[in-house]
Amino acid sequence: MELVFVSLLNEQAIDRMTLAVQAKHAARQAELL
């Protein structure tokens, strides 16, 4: 049970990190334009 819970938390953390990276990338492109 604990392993499943930890893996779910890790997936959420990865999703958040991915969104943060995409947001930074989009902001950078907006600055270039």
* pLDDT score of 26: 96
Q: Which residue type occupies 27?
A: A
Q: What does the pLDDT look like over 1-33, one tens digit per residue?
A: 688 888 989 999 999 999 999 999 999 999 987
| CA separation for the pair 19, 9 (Å, rounded) | 15
Residue corresponding to tokens 């958040």: 16
What are the structural domain ranges in the chain?
1-32
User: Alpha carbon of 28 to those of 17, 19, 20, 22: distances in Å?
Assistant: 17, 14, 12, 10
* pLDDT score of 1: 64
Q: How many helices (H) and strands (E) does the chain have?
A: 1, 0
Residue 33 DSSP class: -
